[in-house]
Structures are given as structure tokens and as C-alpha cells.
Chains A and B, each alone.
Chain A
Amino acid sequence: MHELSIAMSIVELAEEEAERRGVHINAVHLKLGALSGVVKEALLSSYEMACADTPLQGSRLIFEEVPVIVFCPHCQAQRTLSSVQWFCCSECGTPTSEILQGKELEVTALEIQE
């Protein structure tokens, strides 16, 4: 369960941005890859805890969940994985472990109130 320490990093990062811009934050937008190693539900409840007694209290955490995209060496094309248990091209079935997307754990935007 490392979601609490990740939630605390998110809150810290958002607080920094809020202070720098002199704004209040209503919501934090987070891009979460299917291979980020983070469980959305656990992060959500940890986020609430991490926000307690901070200027972020009451703010929302909004997820943009992104699938794994791999490169197929046979088709020479990007393919979206249908399952993280099967790393192969969704068109031709060629196995591939060249990951182009899916490990993201990134704050992409903030909903602010001036």
C-alpha cells in the first residue's frame, strides 16, 4: 500500500502550485497508466486523508485512466493492449514488450478558483 505516500506527493505538489499562483484548487487531474502500479480506489481514499487539514481539503481527484500502448515490430504500428496480461499486437498477435504508454502517474491539470 504505497498509495498514501503517493497521495501525499500529489497534495504537496498541488499545494505548491496553489501557493505559487495564489489560487484555490477545486480539483486535481491525474493521468494514471494501467502499468503505473497504483490502484485507483486506494489512491482515492488515500487522497482524502492526505488532503485533511491542508488547503486542498475538500478538493476532488479526477482520473484520466490511460491504457497500455505498445509498438508492434511486425505491423510497425502503435497498438492499444486489450489486457495487461497479454502483451501482443491486437491485430497480428506478435508478442511485444516495447511500451509506449501506460506507466504514467502525472498531474496534468488543476481546476483553480482565483
Chain B
Amino acid sequence: MNPEPRLVEVRRNVLKQNDVVARALRERFRAAGVSVVSLVSSPGSGKTAFLEKTLTLLRPNHRVAALVGDLATENDAARLARSQAPVRQITTGTLCHLEAAMVERALDDWQDLHQLDFLFIENVGNLVCPSSYDLGEDLRLVLISVTEGEDKPLKYPTIFNSADVAIVTKMDLAAAVEFNWDTAYSNIQAVRPGMRVFRVSAKTGEGMEDYLGFLAARLTQLRPAAV
């Protein structure tokens, strides 16, 4: 028995389990040719309204479905179902974020991924915790609404760095809350240089066309053979 403590090297990634599942999901999505887009934001920034509009506008020309994470209620799923797209709720209970294994479980006995163009995953409203968890998506959108203040990116640089594209929502309220676009844009660029930003209003439809065009272009990239 050696009473002297000693240090041994281990090098193990704490989130490895999630990363392994996320990687498998990403391969599965790629093989099925489905573009998987996730949405993160703080509570109340308009994720559900934005997603409902997205689903409604895409549906005439694309096959779409959505998974929606929520702490306790099924209200969001009910709202999204109005778009007529298949929607499945993931109730996380007290968990503040989605994990890859929850997405994997939710896909069981549900949609044939090969029959989809886009699968959307709405994360739990939270700008902190979701940043650590890869869900296997090929595009992560971070949403901020004009009512939240222009400095949101500076307060949550980590989530902006885990996302690919920023969406500024509720543009119809911009004038009423004296939203300063230049400041918001430069704050986004400060924490994530080169980040693509779209300005939208789910209510009036402003800016939706640009953003949907961007999604469609990505789908074409993903499936060069698709028409």
C-alpha cells in the first residue's frame, strides 16, 4: 500500500457520450439527405412563431417536419401543428436543454428521414446550456428579438459561437423599441466575425424570403442531385 498520492493522466471528454450520439445522428441525416436546422434563443424571443411561419411557407414546395423541446407544456407543438407539418414534442421535464440522445429517441417510429427535405429542432428557451450540446444538426440558428436589447451577443458569446447563423426577430417592433440595427449587427460580428444575419418578422413576413432562399440553397448544396 503506497500512501503517497500520485497524479495519473486520463484525458477524457466529459461530453463524449453526447458527441458520439450527435456524430451518429449527423451521419444518419446526411445519408438520408435531410437538412437539419436547430433553433436556440432565450425564452420569448419568438422561436415558435418564427418556426411556424417557416414551416407554413416551406410546406407548399418542401417536405418538412419539426421536433420541439419544451420543459413542461405541449403548447408549442400545438401551435406548430397549425402549419400542417408533422410535429413531435420532446418534453424535457426540468432539463434546460436538448441532448442528442433525446433527438435520437424522438425520431424512433416517427418520420422516414428519407422522405424529408428539412427537419427543424426547436431547443428549450435558454441561451446558456444548449451551447454545450451538439444535436447532429447541420445548421444552428440563434435568434434574438429586437425587444431584448442590442447587447445580447456580448452577454452570451458562447451560444453565438456554437451557432452558424443569427436571426433577428420581431422586426415589426423595431421602431417601437428604438432597436439599433447597426449596434446589434456589430455586436454579433464582434463575438462571431463573419456570421450571417437575417432580419425577420414572423408577423408581417418581412425578411422571410431571404432566409428561406438561404435554406433552399443549402439544401441544394447538401443534395447536388436534387432538383
Contact = CB atoms under 8 A, between A and B. Distances in A.
Q: Tell me whether A and B are bound partners.
A: yes
Nearest to B6: A112
Contact of B2 (A10, A97, A105, A114): A114
B8 A113 contact: no
A1 interface: yes
Contacts of B154: 85
B13 interface: yes
Contact of A105 (B9, B132, B159, B191): B132
B190 A1 contact: no
A36 B161 CA distance: 10
A46 B193 CA distance: 34
Interface in A86-106: 86-88, 95-97, 99, 105-106
Interface string B140-160: 000000000000001001110
Nearest to B131: A37
Contacts of B225: none
B193 A9 contact: no
B111 interface: no
Interface in B180-221: 189-195
Interface in B83-100: 95-97
A13 interface: yes
Contacts of A9: 14-15, 17
Interface in B65-123: 95-97
A106 B13 contact: yes
A1 B132 contact: no
B31 interface: no
Interface in B26-59: none
A38 interface: yes
B128 interface: yes
Contact of A110 (B10, B96, B131, B158): B10
Nearest to B194: A97
Interface in A24-39: 26, 29-30, 35-38
Interface of B: 1-15, 17, 95-97, 128-129, 131-132, 154, 157-159, 161-162, 189-195
